Protein backbone atom coordinates (compact mmCIF):
# COMPACT_ATOMS: atom_id res chain seq x y z
CA UNK A 1 0.00 0.00 0.00
CA UNK A 2 1.46 3.35 -0.97
CA UNK A 3 1.84 6.21 1.46
CA UNK A 4 -0.85 8.18 -0.34
CA UNK A 5 -3.36 5.29 -0.06
CA UNK A 6 -2.49 4.73 3.59
CA UNK A 7 -3.16 8.40 4.36
CA UNK A 8 -6.50 8.25 2.51
CA UNK A 9 -7.51 5.17 4.49
CA UNK A 10 -6.56 6.87 7.75
CA UNK A 11 -8.49 9.99 6.73
CA UNK A 12 -11.54 7.92 5.79
CA UNK A 13 -11.42 6.05 9.12
CA UNK A 14 -11.09 9.32 11.04
CA UNK A 15 -14.04 10.79 9.14
CA UNK A 16 -16.15 7.71 9.81
CA UNK A 17 -15.31 7.84 13.52
CA UNK A 18 -16.15 11.54 13.63
CA UNK A 19 -19.52 10.94 11.97
CA UNK A 20 -20.30 8.04 14.31
CA UNK A 21 -19.44 10.15 17.36
CA UNK A 22 -21.56 13.02 16.07
CA UNK A 23 -24.50 10.67 15.53
CA UNK A 24 -24.14 9.20 19.01
CA UNK A 25 -24.02 12.66 20.57
CA UNK A 26 -27.09 13.83 18.67
CA UNK A 27 -28.82 10.53 19.34
CA UNK A 28 -28.41 11.12 23.04
CA UNK A 29 -30.56 14.21 22.66
CA UNK A 30 -33.27 12.72 20.49
CA UNK A 31 -33.34 8.97 21.19
CA UNK A 32 -34.59 9.50 24.70
CA UNK A 33 -38.02 8.03 24.03
CA UNK A 34 -37.22 5.51 21.29
CA UNK A 35 -37.57 2.44 23.51
CA UNK A 36 -40.78 3.79 25.02
CA UNK A 37 -42.13 4.54 21.54
CA UNK A 38 -41.52 0.97 20.40
CA UNK A 39 -43.29 -0.37 23.49
CA UNK A 40 -46.26 1.94 22.98
CA UNK A 41 -46.45 0.87 19.33
CA UNK A 42 -46.70 -2.76 20.41
CA UNK A 43 -49.46 -1.83 22.85
CA UNK A 44 -51.30 0.15 20.16
CA UNK A 45 -51.19 -2.87 17.84
CA UNK A 46 -52.63 -5.08 20.58
CA UNK A 47 -55.48 -2.60 21.11
CA UNK A 48 -56.12 -2.46 17.38
CA UNK A 49 -56.21 -6.23 17.06
CA UNK A 50 -58.78 -6.51 19.85
CA UNK A 51 -61.26 -4.35 17.94
CA UNK A 52 -64.13 -6.10 16.15
CA UNK A 53 -63.45 -5.96 12.39
CA UNK A 54 -67.07 -5.18 11.62
CA UNK A 55 -66.97 -2.04 13.78
CA UNK A 56 -65.25 0.32 11.36
CA UNK A 57 -65.72 3.31 13.64
CA UNK A 58 -63.86 1.53 16.45
CA UNK A 59 -61.12 0.53 14.00
CA UNK A 60 -60.73 4.14 12.89
CA UNK A 61 -60.63 5.24 16.52
CA UNK A 62 -57.87 2.73 17.36
CA UNK A 63 -55.83 3.86 14.34
CA UNK A 64 -56.34 7.51 15.28
CA UNK A 65 -55.26 6.77 18.85
CA UNK A 66 -52.05 5.21 17.51
CA UNK A 67 -51.40 8.25 15.32
CA UNK A 68 -52.00 10.48 18.33
CA UNK A 69 -49.26 8.67 20.25
CA UNK A 70 -46.82 9.21 17.38
CA UNK A 71 -47.87 12.86 17.17
CA UNK A 72 -47.03 13.25 20.84
CA UNK A 73 -43.41 12.37 20.08
CA UNK A 74 -43.43 14.80 17.16
CA UNK A 75 -44.71 17.51 19.47
CA UNK A 76 -41.70 17.10 21.77
CA UNK A 77 -39.48 17.15 18.66
CA UNK A 78 -38.21 13.58 18.93
CA UNK A 79 -38.30 12.52 15.29
CA UNK A 80 -36.42 9.29 16.00
CA UNK A 81 -39.12 8.25 18.46
CA UNK A 82 -41.78 9.02 15.84
CA UNK A 83 -39.97 6.84 13.31
CA UNK A 84 -39.42 4.12 15.90
CA UNK A 85 -43.14 4.12 16.76
CA UNK A 86 -44.21 4.01 13.11
CA UNK A 87 -41.71 1.32 12.15
CA UNK A 88 -42.56 -0.87 15.12
CA UNK A 89 -46.31 -0.39 14.63
CA UNK A 90 -46.10 -1.37 10.97
CA UNK A 91 -43.74 -4.30 11.63
CA UNK A 92 -45.79 -5.83 14.44
CA UNK A 93 -49.11 -5.31 12.66
CA UNK A 94 -47.71 -6.88 9.48
CA UNK A 95 -46.56 -9.90 11.47
CA UNK A 96 -49.83 -10.36 13.32
CA UNK A 97 -52.42 -9.38 10.70
CA UNK A 98 -51.10 -8.95 7.18
CA UNK A 99 -54.49 -8.19 5.66
CA UNK A 100 -55.25 -5.37 8.07
CA UNK A 101 -51.73 -3.98 7.69
CA UNK A 102 -52.10 -3.94 3.92
CA UNK A 103 -55.41 -2.11 4.22
CA UNK A 104 -54.02 0.50 6.59
CA UNK A 105 -50.73 1.08 4.79
CA UNK A 106 -51.82 0.57 1.18
CA UNK A 107 -51.42 4.27 0.31
CA UNK A 108 -48.26 4.80 2.34
Is 72 in the same domain as 99?
yes
Per the structure, how many domains does the chain have?
Answer: 2
Q: What is the span of the domain harbouring residue 79?
A: 32-108
Average pLDDT by stretches of 10, the chain with 108 residues: 49 43 46 91 97 93 95 91 95 96 84
Is 66 in the same domain as 94?
yes
pLDDT of residue 25: 43
3-state secondary structure labels for all residues of the chain: CCHHHHHHHHHHHHHHHHHHHHHHHHHHHHCCCHHHHHHHHHHHHHHHHHCCCCCHHHHHHHHHHHHHHHHHHHHCCCHHHHHHHHHHHHHHHHHHCHHHHHHHCCCC
pLDDT of residue 10: 47
Amino acid sequence: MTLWRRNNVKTAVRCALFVMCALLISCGKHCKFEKEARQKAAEAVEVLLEVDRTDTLALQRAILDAETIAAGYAQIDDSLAVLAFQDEFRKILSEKDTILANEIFRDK
